[in-house]
């Protein structure tokens, strides 16, 4: 199996991480959480000569999804999200898009849902882990063959997602975090904001 190549873009006013994934030697790509900066997305996709096949959304907040419509229209990629967060793709209010966001909201019905279990996109196998709490339909994406866990806004290197926004629930987030922290500590964690780390290092921070 060819090496998984990952490029990180930091997009928009909230400095949201967007990840571009592909196997070495392949142009077929997966885009995780394309946020509020379409020109930066276009530049990176062109520079890396990528052909996005799927857009995977960890949750339904504007800073993680505003670029999804453009990638779908420009590249023919299909858009996937946790089912409970799907309304954020068609209802601007639910996406929490502020008036000063750069990218306009374009209703984008999902092409499928990120249900619990294994899914494969562009030759990359993911285990979808439902992670409600920050939102009702949040998910984490574990690239098991490559030892990489994409945690969206559920888990950060120095903390976790807020629960005071629409769809947030502290009890659900607590159980989601327990599930994530029980995974293999050697996993590389790539969150929705900020730098990444290993899961073991994050666990040590939680126990300080």
| Band of pLDDT at residue 64, cut at 50, 70 and 90 | very high
DSSP string, 8-31: EEEETTTTEEEEEEEETT--EEEE
Domain residues for 72? 4-206
Per-residue pLDDT band at 204 (split at 50, 70, 90): confident
Per the structure, how many domains does the chain have?
1
pLDDT of residue 206 exceeding 80: no
Segment holding 176, helix H or strand E: helix 170-181
Q: What confidence tens digit (pLDDT) does each residue in 171-201 have?
A: 999 999 999 999 999 999 999 999 999 999 9
- Predicted confidence (pLDDT) at residue 106 exceeds the cutoff of 70: yes
Give the pTM: 0.97
What's the whole-number mean pLDDT along residues 102-130? 97
- What CATH number does the domain containing 103 carry? 3.60.15.10
* Residues β-bridged to residue 113: 81
CB-based contact 145:184 (threshold 8 Å): no
CA atoms within 13 A on the CB side of 162: 5
Which residues, other chains included, contact 161 with Cβ-Cβ below 8 Å and sequence gap of 6+?
Answer: 133, 134, 138, 152, 153, 154, 155, 168, 173
pLDDT confidence tier of residue 86, bands split at 50, 70 and 90: very high
pLDDT, tens digit, 9 for 90 and up, residues 129-175 = 999 999 999 999 999 999 999 999 999 998 999 999 988 999 999 99
Are 58 and 192 a contacting pair, CB within 8 Å? yes
């Amino acid at each position: 199996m060819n090496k998984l190549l990952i490029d990180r873009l930091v997009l928009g006013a909230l400095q949201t991480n967007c990840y571009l994934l592909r196997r070495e030697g392949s142009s077929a790509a997966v885009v995780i959480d394309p946020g509020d900066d379409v020109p930066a997305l276009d530049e990176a996709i062109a520079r890396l000569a990528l052909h996005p096949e799927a857009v995977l959304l960890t949750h339904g907040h504007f800073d993680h999804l505003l670029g999804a419509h453009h990638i779908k229209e420009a590249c023919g990629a299909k858009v996937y999200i946790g089912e409970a967060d799907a309304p954020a793709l068609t209802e601007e209010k639910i996406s929490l898009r502020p008036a000063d966001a750069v990218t306009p909201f374009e209703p984008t019905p999902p092409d499928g849902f990120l249900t619990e279990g294994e899914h494969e996109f562009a030759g990359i196998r993911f285990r979808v882990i439902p992670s409600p709490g920050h939102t009702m339909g949040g998910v984490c994406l574990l690239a098991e063959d490559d030892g990489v866990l994409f945690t969206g806004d559920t888990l950060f290197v120095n903390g976790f997602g807020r629960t005071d926004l629409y769809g947030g629930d502290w009890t659900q987030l607590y159980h989601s975090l327990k599930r994530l922290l029980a995974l293999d500590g050697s996993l590389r964690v790539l969150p929705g904001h900020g730098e990444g780390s290993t899961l073991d290092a994050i666990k040590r921070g939680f126990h300080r």
